[in-house]
Amino acid sequence: MNLQIAGKVALVTGASQGIGRAVAAGLAAEGVRVVLCARNEGVLSKTVEAIRLAGGEAFAAPGDVSSARSISDLLATTTRYYGAPGILVVNAGGPPPGPAATTSDEAWAKAFELTLMSAVRLSRAVIPAMEAAGWGRIINITSLSVRQPVKNLALSNALRAAVTGFAKTLSTEVAAQGITVNNVAPGYTATERLNELFKDPATKQAMVDAVPAKRLGTPEEVAAAVVFLASRQAAYLTGQTVLVDGGLVGSLL
């Protein structure tokens, strides 16, 4: 299938490793010119180098998406280097674990800026150029927790649900301008974050056992859903949350 996005410009955040890295590589493989953003400049540079070695066009723009100033600088850099992005993938790092009853105000405020406001600010920043072009794709990486809260992940459960509500609202406002807004919600995926959150081998095995597919997902499988949502073929698909979870979430809707 020709996804018809070769030559488009994409901005992918949290792109140095894991799902973000796989998304950037997947878009580059389709001929998209990709700007990668992450805080770790060293790891980010290596990811960009790997994409270029594979024949893709990529540029590193280190930054912190929890900062409004950093987001403004990131958009300016992207536009200066490749042009205004027609594809935005918001993949902010997950907030730290902890129970709802004892998580501090400071932790809530920090997670609010990182998880929710990064999606809000980045979306606001790219929409004017997308409206002018009559085409755009905004995709947020959330979590299965928006359908099925995960124990001890209070910040993620609450704020990724907020991202989902924001995206659904925004999707109705910009649909007539040819812009789609969707979310991809990964299930248990073999990433560095999963290893950080669940260090006990028995816990990991219990997670695998709970998944009908009887394995963890891969970043590339999540990326495949993102790349499709970025395509011209997905033009009538908006306001949705696509679960990539091996069948774990049991809800019908």
pLDDT beneath 70: ranges in the chain = none
Report pLDDT for 253.
Answer: 77
Q: Are 161 and 143 in contact (CB under 8 A)?
A: no
List, for residues 53-91, the tens digit of each pLDDT value.
999 999 999 999 999 999 999 999 999 999 999 999 999
Q: Which residues contact 37 (CB under 8 A, 6 or more apart)?
A: 11, 12, 13, 14, 15, 44, 61, 62, 63, 65, 74
**Residue owning tokens 């033009």:** 235
**Who contacts 156 (Cβ-Cβ below 8 Å, separation ≥6)?**
94, 95, 97, 111, 115, 143, 145, 150
**Strands ordered across the beta sheet of 87-90:** 57-60, 33-37, 9-13, 87-90, 136-141, 179-186, 241-244
Tokens of 252: 């019908």
pTM for the complete prediction?
0.96
Q: Which of 82, 189, 185, 95 is nearest to 126 (CA)?
A: 82
User: What's the rounded Cα separation, in Å, for the pair 167 and 162?
Assistant: 9
Contact 164, 121 (CB under 8 A): no
CB contact set of 236 (below 8 Å; sequence gap of 6+): none
Superfamily of domain 9-191+219-243 in CATH is NAD(P)-binding Rossmann-like Domain (3.40.50.720)
b or e along 208-233 (b: 16 or more beta carbons within 10 Å of the residue's beta carbon)? Answer: eeebeeeebbbbebbbbbbbbbbbee
pLDDT number for residue 94: 85
Q: What amino acid is encoded at 245 in this protein?
A: D
The alpha carbon torsion through 172, 178, 179, 183 (nearest 10 deg) reads: 80
Domain ranges of the chain: 9-191+219-243
At residue 198, the pLDDT reads 79
- pLDDT for res 200: 82
Please compute, for residue 129, the number of CA atoms within 13 A of its CA located in the half-sphere on the CB side: 19
